[in-house]
Structure 1
């Protein structure tokens, strides 16, 4: 028995089924509660445009739920691990398995296998559904929950620099010279970054060269004067190719699309550390589910009647949540260039993998 990593087929299926049911139950509970809280704060904005109603609320929920599932699936695996192991411990099932000759790793093996399958499903779900939901929801929010333009290449929250000057846009649609910008703001700045004037426009299109702002309104900071300009051309040095590179949203691209974007940025000498860190995290993020049975395993072992089961469950929860805190901090440091991208994405994973193994071996093996 000790030479086999997995216990018997019957016991493996029993533990895996118990674990999956609890993961789904916790995930559904978390998503429903968080979705209800989200709608409390967002329903007013969704219904603000004329003609919006229940269909738009359901559309928002359909776009938001995949984001919540992707974000809280690892938390669900952690909580399901604790619930499963505490239940097994209280019912003396762990004692029975160890008395039958199973090691701590063999007891956890069905949970680890299930978590690995969950990680694979999570990766596919993120690539096929979450990235598209991110792109659509950001574009819809940029349009203030109004009609979304039908053009291709829809992106949101555009930030462009033209020397000292800055151009921002709520949304971008189209490709190449057919790019169209909406809710555009042009900031003309003096040397040192002081804003001299601000021009706002609901729409902008490529003017070969520059960008033609329609129905533009200028505000002079020095004189505090507001003036309607009609059409005006700004940003003569900004080309559609530059905008294609500067307006990339890594969260709205799949793993393979992001790989091509990183190659394009590196080809022109652009900084890619933030995108590279997120690219690596596309793999390490779903794999975090594999850590949860290991970090929560401290709740499985030790006699339930000793009175320390609750303390062990709290320790397991603390280890799991500590991983998420360290992971988010490392990813933020990688985005700012403080850590190399590979280290930012993978260091927390390997650190807590070693920590979980150390705790398990020291206490049980």
Structure 2
């Protein structure tokens, strides 16, 4: 058969893809059922602890938590679905027949990889449309101890903004746009990399391109003296939307929404490395499904009756688990600033892509 044709037989390709998808969905269903039950056992007490909560709130929690579990364990389900599919084909000597017909290892795996690509696309859309909304809502609900979620009127607390070399801390921001009111403001005025003075303003409103406040005082760090200034203008060029930025939850925002939030935070002078890693992981996370057929391919080849099929399946699972560990480790290092955001999100994917290809070529090609 032509070694350059990934699908020499359309019938065989559909047969393998259907088998792979059915087993992946079956594994995912069982995992979600078990994990959701365990999670509900640990969290139901907290949900019911709020006065008035009952069965409706329990089912609401299940509806919000289930999408998170699906998104997290879908790549793992793809790995197990791959191993089960390939082990079954190997045990029934179907892999041997395919290779005897002239198919290479990559041609045997091609239907699974293409099906996994479809799973990755569905996973991305599912994350964007459902998981992010469920995560944001559940986070808000947990913040109020599973009570009524208050209406977000735009109030923010403990907001930090950078203005050139100066840092501005606002205790509370009320309102939006030019109607925003700042309360409990401290401006850390710096020069040559060191703190010079602290400007304290109880309340400030928008005034042209800057902000105006009364009853201000300035503390001089070098002399240790405090001076009353009365009315002052400060933060020229700092926009109201920079003060309206709240703590951004990468898991609770869509790809485009998170990208815009990162741009706003960067303009406000706030660190964005961890969020940039989360942004790239919104792409690399779903695409990890494509790796699973490659990492689990070790279970497809070798003679089943040699007694090593189980060992091969365990090796495939070990490679998949190693990827998940490396992925979480890289994201943690990215959040700490030890890895660049792009590297934290993509390095494990590229590394295990090379490992999977090396193992496959070394052993079968």
Asked if TM exceeds 0.5, the reply is yes
Gaps of 5+ in 1: 181-206, 211-236
Pair 14,146 (structure 1): closer, same or farther in 2 beyond 3 Å: same
Report the Cα distance in structure 1 between the residues aligned to 2:174 and 2:114, rounded to whole angstroms: 43
Residue 39 (structure 2) pairs with residue 38 (structure 1): yes
Pair 135,154 (structure 1): closer, same or farther in 2 beyond 3 Å: farther
Pair 71,95 (structure 1): closer, same or farther in 2 beyond 3 Å: same
Pair 38,159 (structure 1): closer, same or farther in 2 beyond 3 Å: farther
TM-score (norm 1): 0.78
Report the Cα distance in structure 1 between the residues aligned to 2:242 and 2:321, rounded to whole angstroms: 40
Report the Cα distance in structure 1 between the residues aligned to 2:99 and 2:19, rounded to whole angstroms: 19
Deviation at 1:58, TM superposition (A): 0.4
Residue in 2 aligned with 1:56? 57
Deviation at 1:269, TM superposition (A): 2.9
Residue in 1 aligned with 2:105? 104
Q: Give the SS at the match of 1:4.
A: coil
Deviation at 1:247, TM superposition (A): 1.8
Computing the radius of gyration from Cα coordinates, the structure with the larger value is 2
CA displacement 1:169-225 (0-9 Å, x = unmatched): xxx998568999xxxxxxxxxxxxxxxxxxxxxxxxxx9449xxxxxxxxxxxxxxx
Report matched runs for 1:119-134 at 5 Å: 119-134=120-135
TM-score (norm 2): 0.78
Work out whether residues 149 and 173 of structure 1, in 8 Å CA contact, stay in contact via their aligned partners in 2: no
Q: Give the SS at the match of 1:245.
A: coil
Report the Cα distance in structure 1 between the residues aligned to 2:141 and 2:76, rounded to whole angstroms: 28
Residue in 1 aligned with 2:330? 330
Report the Cα distance in structure 1 between the residues aligned to 2:298 and 2:319, rounded to whole angstroms: 10
Deviation at 1:150, TM superposition (A): 3.0
Pair 92,332 (structure 1): closer, same or farther in 2 beyond 3 Å: same
Deviation at 1:48, TM superposition (A): 1.3
* Structure 1, 73-82 or 47-56: larger mean CA deviation: 47-56
Residue in 1 aligned with 2:91? 90
Gaps of 5+ in 2: 162-166, 182-201, 206-234
Deviation at 1:73, TM superposition (A): 0.2
Deviation at 1:51, TM superposition (A): 1.6
Residue in 2 aligned with 1:224? none
Deviation at 1:268, TM superposition (A): 2.9
Report the Cα distance in structure 2 between the residues aligned to 1:26 and 1:173, rounded to whole angstroms: 49
Deviation at 1:7, TM superposition (A): 3.1
Q: Give the SS at the match of 2:52.
A: coil
Deviation at 1:270, TM superposition (A): 2.4
Work out whether residues 7 and 107 of structure 1, in 8 Å CA contact, stay in contact via their aligned partners in 2: no
Q: Aligned-pair RMSD on alpha carbons?
A: 2.8
Pair 165,266 (structure 1): closer, same or farther in 2 beyond 3 Å: closer
Residue 314 (structure 2) pairs with residue 314 (structure 1): yes
Pair 119,330 (structure 1): closer, same or farther in 2 beyond 3 Å: same
Work out whether residues 151 and 173 of structure 1, in 8 Å CA contact, stay in contact via their aligned partners in 2: no
CA displacement 1:214-263 (0-9 Å, x = unmatched): xxxxxxxxxxxxxxxxxxxxxxx9x9745533422222111001111111
Residue in 1 aligned with 2:245? 245
Q: Give the SS at the match of 1:281.
A: helix
Residue in 2 aligned with 1:114? 115
Deviation at 1:267, TM superposition (A): 2.1
Pair 256,241 (structure 1): closer, same or farther in 2 beyond 3 Å: same
Work out whether residues 173 and 179 of structure 1, in 8 Å CA contact, stay in contact via their aligned partners in 2: yes
Pair 177,58 (structure 1): closer, same or farther in 2 beyond 3 Å: farther
Residue in 1 aligned with 2:259? 259
* Structure 1, 47-56 or 316-325: larger mean CA deviation: 47-56
Report the Cα distance in structure 2 between the residues aligned to 1:177 and 1:57, rounded to whole angstroms: 42
